[in-house]
Amino acid sequence: MTKRFFGTDGIRGSVGKDPMTADFAMRLASAAAQGLVPAGGTVVIGKDTRLSGYMFESALEAGFVAAGADVLLIGPLPTPGIARLTQELDADLGVVISASHNVYSDNGIKFFDRSGSKLSDDIERKIEEHLKNPAITLESQSLGKAKRIDTARVRYQEFCTASVSDGINLEGLKIVFDGANGAGYKVGPRTLGGLGADVIPIGCSPNGKNINDGCGSTQPELLQLTVPALKADVGVALDGDGDRLIMVDEEGRLIDGDQLLYILAIARHRAGGLKGPVVGTVMSNLGLEKALRAENIDFKRAKVGDRYVLEALRETGGIIGGETSGHMLVLDKTTTGDGLICALQVLAIMKQTGRRLSELVVGMHKYPQTMVNVRTAKRLDPDSCTEIQDAVAKAELELGDTGRVVLRASGTEPVIRVMVEGEDHDTVVSIANRLASVVAGSAA
């Protein structure tokens, strides 16, 4: 059965439009409670800083309590913090109200199981089956109750701090931290400062409407200007819900998820602590794969989406994986993508080696890569179109073994993403535009 509401990272959309309404949120809570929470069970609910988070928090609370679940309200905290607290508080389900890197007028809802892992496709389908039924309200004696947990931020901060080796501190590092005016705006600076860093916060003044607005991992331009202007050692940027990480070196140059994955993998490999292959996605830069293989590190590709990276890591016994966008997984530290914990691992490597961030990425040459999004009037499977496949074959022949072509249908909108990478930038752009024209013509 195809999922109607759940995408690659929960349910997401414009506030006030189906499905992101208060009524739907209450029904979703009821459906999730019926499928995943035993009688008298516990649910943890956290959120980012969006104005609509108040509404969805109340609606979810009502749906869970009416279905007999007890609710622990966390308030603003990074998504991975909710995953951790779901485990720590022995809850049956964790819920995050966030649209991640989207604009403030969007919002979303995603779930974690009691182990702090995202739900499988099968479980999400079961929740959607329950959504076909009206929300339930039990008799008064069977209703749940709700309370706020005031120690949530401190608990998560302590967990993050404990992820770096004993004896390692960040003294002597001047760090510009960009919280995207989102869920990490408090815990990020306080964690880094608690480890001795000199922290300059930007994007840490949320007002409910400025999340991801000119700041954070998806709009790092201000961070790139601020780091060299203040002569800082490094910049750290999270996205709105804190599960993505982008960093900036001392010269203001962007260090993306592929480069961060390289840094983490090389350090673990040389220390003898790397297990299994490193897992990226079909969109990961070819330069990452070649750089890792040069160090005799196995590299695997998964479908786009950190949940699929996680599945591949579990299947292969790996511990490190991630996406170009900055979704990073370090499974011997935590169960899900965590921007702050991954930043701490990179900062610890800088302290241990005495090397700048720019020096840590020298061994990886990024291949020129371009992406063209082709909007179509209808859903289109590029793999089933002979004309598109012939064009792809011609492009791959032209690139040889020094480039790649990836065509991927978006999971949330009628868009075909055309990605081309190779050694020469102009050639890459030319091939990408040519393929995009073929896709557009086939979809007309």
Give me the active site residues, please: 100
Q: How many CA atoms lie within 13 A of 428 on its CB side?
A: 19
Q: Would you call 108 exposed, middle or buried from its count of C-beta atoms within 10 A (0-12, 13-18, 19+)?
A: buried
Tokens of 87: 């485990």
Kindly report the backbone phi and psi dihedral angles of residue 144, in degrees, each rounded to the nearest multiple of 5, phi listed first: -85, 180
Residue 300 structure tokens: 């695997």
**What DSSP line would sit under 170-186, residue for residue?**
-TT-EEEEE-TTTTTTT
- Which SS3 state, helix, strand or coil, does residue 346 take? helix
240 and 305 in contact (C-beta within 8 Å)? no
Taking alpha carbons only, the member of 226, 69, 50 closest to residue 144 is: 69
Output the CA torsion 29→31→36→42 (10° steps). Answer: 30
Q: How far apart are CA 138 and CA 64, in angstroms?
A: 11
The dihedral built from the CA positions of residue 258, 263, 264 and 269, taken in this order, carries a sign that is positive
Residue type, 421: E
The angle at the Cα of 157, spanning 274 to 206, to the nearest 5 degrees, equals 115
Whether 301 and 379 have beta carbons less than 8 Å apart is answered as no
The two tokens of residue 416 are 């075909």
CA atoms within 13 A on the CB side of 17: 6
- 186 Rama class: left (phi>0) / alpha (psi -120 to 50) / beta: alpha
